[in-house]
Structure 1
């Protein structure tokens, strides 16, 4: 019996375009990268805590390059992969045998997450470790509420469906990772305006890549959203929350 194809929630074409735009925006002075910085720091802290010293590592999605540079300084042989450059996470990897695979900020917008995790596991050496971090359930609560209010009685799809802690655990179990660890942490950032939040989302590859993104907001709806965002804050700043889910496990 043929396996059932995963639902097409995200557009691969829009996803690649968003990441390419992100890579361009990241070359600008003072480009925001607090999401990737947080993920990189977390990976390094986990490796230090576990005293795990991989000889080889594959890093997927780290557009800052910080994780790779740090690991190379420790003597690790590093391979970098970027979806915007054609690396396909939902297909078998063209290389394997890594002691560590770190996937940063990409698995939240693939249609076949179990398949992507299976490919990660197959690309690991025996005894190798995966660490995958991405935006998760509970992310951007202020923006979600504002978009619903701005759209009125007929809301359009504007923000991504997300994986929560429970689903993350089920994914690791389903894809046969040993000693799985699942945790979620909030990253709070204050913004002076809705436009600045949207700008930061685009610059970090977090904009809408849904297969059916819905129509753009009308000018009146956008004005309502801007006003609602300002009203949700204090002293000219509105705090938004980015929830980061990290899945880790081993190939035994």
Structure 2
């Protein structure tokens, strides 16, 4: 974490942009509502009841819903103090990479559209896991690889044609297949990762750039080009975006992570060799040795 060579994002810039977005994010309110609704629906899949919740990056869309569900104690944390304050209740300004909470403080943690700006995602997940009580639930939503892919490709091609090279202008996003492995590495039990595509369409391509800015999702990569972009860059890139009868189609690929902090009553995989029933008996088939012809089954 201390070696700048290993840092992907400029966290100071991330905080400044999230601070500014507190006054403008309502422009993308329907998208934020859709993501929050999908994340909170996961709570309906369990009969577990929670009393102490931490929401990270909720932007004011998660904490009120948790209180409406009867959770009496909700801490709203964000890298931006202005966004944390939008949630009401108990706001905390903090860095997701250095959680200020003691072990076992919460039985529910929900991270909404914030962990994709973390430099050390495995480390952040491990800290979240430490802050959870046994048998606590963790839910997270973050953009996955494939999000804004047409814009990424158009910007790269346009800048390469104009300047002969291209700097990163769209953040790197995690891949679906990495999700469960990251949870398991952080010590979560029963890890699950799945992805859902939220289809978006823009009649005006400039509106897409305005929405990204309004949401505080501008480029914050440390390797971004600090120079003023060429005047022709964005017009050329936006003109190259594929269009359709409903406008320019884009996808928000939403990666949802679900994991439980280990608890004494959770189901566990059986110990190897502890089975008491043969697989052949369970399948109603005849067992043969390796290399022997199978015995045809008569019905």
Deviation at 1:4, TM superposition (A): 8.1
Aligned match of 2:249: 239
**Structure with greater Cα Rg:** 2
| Structure 2: gaps of 5 or more residues | 82-92, 263-299
User: CA contact under 8 A between 1:36 and 1:62: conserved in structure 2?
Assistant: no
Provide the alpha-carbon RMSD of the alignment. 2.0
Deviates more, 1:45-54 or 1:15-24: 45-54
SS of the residue aligned with 1:240? strand
* Inter-partner Cα distance in structure 2 for 1:204 and 1:4: 29
2:101 to 86, 94, 101: 94
Q: TM-score by structure 1 length?
A: 0.90
CA contact (8 A) 1:21 1:202 kept: no
Q: Distance in 2 between matches of 1:183 and 1:220?
A: 38
Report the secondary structure of 2:43's partner residue: helix
Change (3 A) 1:166 1:18: same
- The answer as to whether partners of 1:105 and 1:134 remain within 8 angstroms in 2 is yes
CA offset digits 1:78-132 (Å, max 9, x no partner): 1111111231111133355211000001111110101100110011111111101
Whether 2:111 is the aligned partner of 1:103: answer yes
Q: Provide Cα deviations, 1:5-27, integer angstroms capped at 9, x if missing partner.
A: 8811100111101111111213x
TM-score (norm 2): 0.77
Highest RCO, 1 vs 2 (Cα 8 Å, sep ≥ 6): 1
Is 1:187 the equivalent of 2:187? no
**Aligned equivalents of 1:110 and 1:136: distance in 2?**
14
Superposition misfits of 4+ residues, deviation over 6 angstroms? 3-6
Work out whether residues 201 and 246 of structure 2, in 8 Å CA contact, stay in contact via their aligned partners in 1.
no
Gaps of 5+ in 1: none
- Whole-angstrom CA distance in 2 between matches of 1:46 and 1:6: 37
Distance in 1, Cα, partners of 2:19 & 2:3 = 30
Contact 2:156 2:166 in 1 (8 A): yes
